[in-house]
Structure 1
Amino acid sequence: MQSPSRDATLAQWIAQEQAMRARLAGPGSLSLAEVSALSPAEFFEGIGNGELPSPPIGTLLDFIPIEWSAGHFVFQGTPDARHYNPLGSVHGGYAATLLDSCMGCAIHTRLNKGQGYTTLDLRISYVRALTGSSGPIRAEGKIVHLGRSTALAEGRIYDVDGRLYATGSTTCMILEARG
């Protein structure tokens, strides 16, 4: 039998995902110039409100943004058989992509208008296997350091019970948009 708090958390996660999916626009991308003309808040609010296209990678791997604030970003997805490797568990690239995305977006939330970033280093530690029965999972990224030319972030993937599946850290190079 599931605990009432687990049931409540699961219901909340599902409701948040359904509400966000209802708002998201179809997949697409913007040019670097278009993204650079927006503040991070304008960019992410535009995606979250369906005014800007949702990132195609989220459609491909079926994960969506759930919440964000300065220095913090959360994606949610539910792994299934589409994400399996030949050994019968979710491919490690699924977790790596979610972690790369949440950590990179956490950094993006703190950039200035006209700045961008790219991943220089990505480190992942797998704690337990993801499977189709893992249920919805969240990938949460947080900034550790934001400098003039580099930024560091850490992330984790967990389920509604708080079980940890993977952790990660990244170093990103901060880029100034070119005219």
Structure 2
Amino acid sequence: MNFPRPPWDEATIRQYFSRPELAPGYSRLLGFEFVDVDTTAMTFECTFNPGPELCSPAGAIQGGFITAMLDDTMSLAAISALGFDGVVPTLEMKTSFLAPVMAGFVRAKGQVLKKGRKTFFTEGRLWDREGQLLAHATATCIHRPHDKVKAARARQARGENSRSSE
């Protein structure tokens, strides 16, 4: 697939996420499936279908995988708000586990609460099929535009310190 140049409009984002084979490996492992995006409201909705192989010995999905689902959803809300121009690495994140997450269907929604020039404050929620809130997270992420990401990768490939010219 030839990727369109950013910024992507909402229709392009929807088209991209309707192709599950394009999802990163970790998203496929978690059973990611796109539901909806609203670039004006800065929200991203999806479902996950984690399998029993992600469960702890107690029988619930291990907390790191739950955190990964919420991180994915919040990051996608932020990057969608930018039209996929760059990346938004998470700087810090807090996850609250409100009820056990069992293997199978869960719904997630990420939202940008505040968008600064470079920094985003995001929130994510995870529900079961009956609508019970299972987990909640907040995170701060930073925008790195495509041109800076490409320049850093080029410096890294040449063996230079990636921070030397930022």
Place the TM-score, normalised by the shorter chain, in its bin: 0.7 to 0.9
**8 Å Cα contact 1:103/1:154 also seen in 2:** yes
- The residue correspondences of 1:138-157 to structure 2 (distance < 5 A) are 138-157=107-126
> Using the alignment, how far apart are the partners of 1:44 and 1:158 within structure 2?
23
Pairing partner for 1:60 from 14, 25, 29 = 29
- Counterpart check, 1:126 vs 2:97: yes
RMSD across aligned C-alpha pairs, in angstroms?
2.5
- TM-score, normalised to structure 1, is 0.71
% identical equivalent positions: 23
Report the TM-score when normalising by structure 2: 0.76
Equivalent in 81, 86, 97 of residue 52 of structure 2:
81
| Moved beyond 6 Å, runs of 4+ | none
Could you tell me which residue of structure 2 aligns to residue 38 of structure 1?
Answer: 6
Distance in 2 separating the partners of 1:64 and 1:51: 7
Per-residue deviation, 1:50: 2.9
Selected match of 2:80 from 83, 95, 109 = 109
Q: Is contact 1:90–1:129 with CA below 8 Å preserved after alignment?
A: yes
Give the AA of the match of 2:24: P
In structure 1, list runs of 5 or more residues that go unmatched.
Answer: 1-24
Distance 1:155 1:85 in 2: 22
